[in-house]
């Protein structure tokens, strides 16, 4: 795996392994809490990866063996979020980051170990799939901090877990473990901590081998069904484009020739 994209902040590190790009949250002194600069930078990184034809799948994770993300940096509550005006600007940066991940045309997988809290939880819920270690903890403590949660981010939470579970998590501000998160549909797969990285990469590579145009069309259609609408993304047109693609020809040939297809995204 090699670093191939110069991130605007050292706290978000981007690397590439084949067709899988990884964005690592690297703020270990604060359990990978995200500060305002990180929130503002994430959409730029995601947009660059979305444009890069080498990238078929994106993995979002905490660096090393650290937590996924313990939330927003509490130290900024007394500065950037000290009043309503500052709070709104901060929430706008949060929502822009969530939206960038949710609207990315490529699949984004959250690889979660240890803490996945607050804004970190919201960021994970903006991803297409969530894979967790058995020691992961999830929670949204907004009700214990007296802060509002952005409506756009709330839409992502509700789309992922449904209304009753969203109410439970927000009203109680309780933390849940990986097993309950899996039962609620928050995470799709749970692995022992030592197996998490290999299993996540295997999943990402499996997806990356499939037809990119088909996955792009599927993501647009699923998001449309969930009310997560990306401006300019027409699910019907994207599905129609698959039928006229070179990948559709390759898929049919590979099936008849009984071999694995090699898709190019064209």
How does strand 175-177 pair with strand 129-133? unpaired
Confirm whether 244 is domain-assigned.
Answer: yes
More confident residue, 35 or 7: 35
CATH of the domain at 63: 3.90.226.10
Q: Are residues 203 and 132 in the same domain?
A: yes
pLDDT for residue 55 is more than 70: yes
Looking at residues 241-245, what average pLDDT do you find? 93
CA angle 259, 265, 266 (to 5 degrees): 100
Let me know if residue 21 belongs to a domain: yes
Looking at residues 175-193, what average pLDDT do you find?
Answer: 96
If asked whether residues 60 and 184 sit together in one domain, one would say yes
Does 65 share its domain with 105? Answer: yes
Looking at the fold, whether 76 and 196 belong to one and the same domain comes out as yes
Query: Based on the structure, what is the number of domains in the chain?
Result: 2
pLDDT band at 187 (very low <50, low <70, confident <90, very high): very high
List % helix, strand, coil for the chain (3-state, nearest 5).
50, 20, 30
Residue 46: band (very low, low, confident or very high) from pLDDT cuts 50, 70, 90: very high
Pairing relationship of beta strands 137-139 and 108-112 according to DSSP bridges: unpaired
Which domain range does residue 234 map to? 212-256
Q: Do residue 118 and residue 153 come from a single domain?
A: yes
Of residues 200 and 226, the one with the higher pLDDT is: 200
231 and 131 part of one domain? no
Mean pLDDT to the nearest integer, 114-134: 96
In this structure, are 126 and 238 located in the same domain? no
Sign, Cα dihedral of 242, 247, 249, 250: negative
Residue 265 is assigned to a structural domain of this protein: no
- By mean pLDDT, which of 168-172, 224-228, 229-233 is the weakest? 229-233
Claim to verify: residue 34 and residue 102 sit in the same structural domain: yes
In a shared domain, residues 145 and 112:
yes
> Is residue 225 located within the same domain as residue 137?
no
């Amino acid at each position: 795996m090699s670093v191939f994209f110069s991130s605007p902040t050292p706290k978000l590190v981007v690397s590439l392994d084949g067709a899988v790009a990884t964005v690592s949250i690297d703020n270990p002194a604060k359990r990978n809490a995200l500060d305002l600069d990180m929130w503002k930078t994430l959409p730029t990184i995601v947009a660059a990866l979305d444009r890069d034809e080498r990238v078929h799948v994106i993995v979002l994770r905490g660096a090393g063996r650290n937590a996924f993300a313990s939330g927003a940096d509490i130290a900024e509550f007394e500065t950037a979020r000290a009043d309503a005006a500052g709070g709104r600007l901060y929430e706008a940066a949060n929502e822009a980051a969530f939206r960038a991940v949710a609207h990315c045309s490529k699949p984004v997988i959250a690889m979660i170990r240890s803490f996945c809290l607050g804004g970190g939880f919201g960021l994970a819920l903006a991803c297409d799939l969530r894979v967790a270690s058995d020691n992961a903890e999830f929670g949204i403590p907004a009700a214990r901090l007296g802060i509002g949660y952005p409506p756009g981010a709330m839409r992502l939470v509700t789309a992922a877990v449904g209304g009753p579970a969203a109410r439970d998590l927000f009203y109680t501000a309780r933390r849940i473990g990986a097993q309950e998160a899996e039962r609620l549909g928050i995470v799709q797969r749970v692995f022992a901590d030592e197996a998490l990285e290999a299993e996540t990469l295997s999943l990402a590579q499996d997806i990356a081998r499939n037809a990119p145009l088909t996955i792009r069309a599927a993501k647009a259609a699923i998001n449309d069904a969930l009310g997560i609408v990306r401006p300019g993304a027409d699910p019907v047109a994207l599905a129609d484009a698959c039928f006229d693609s070179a990948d559709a020809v390759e898929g049919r040939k590979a099936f008849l020739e009984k071999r694995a297809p090699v898709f190019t995204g064209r």
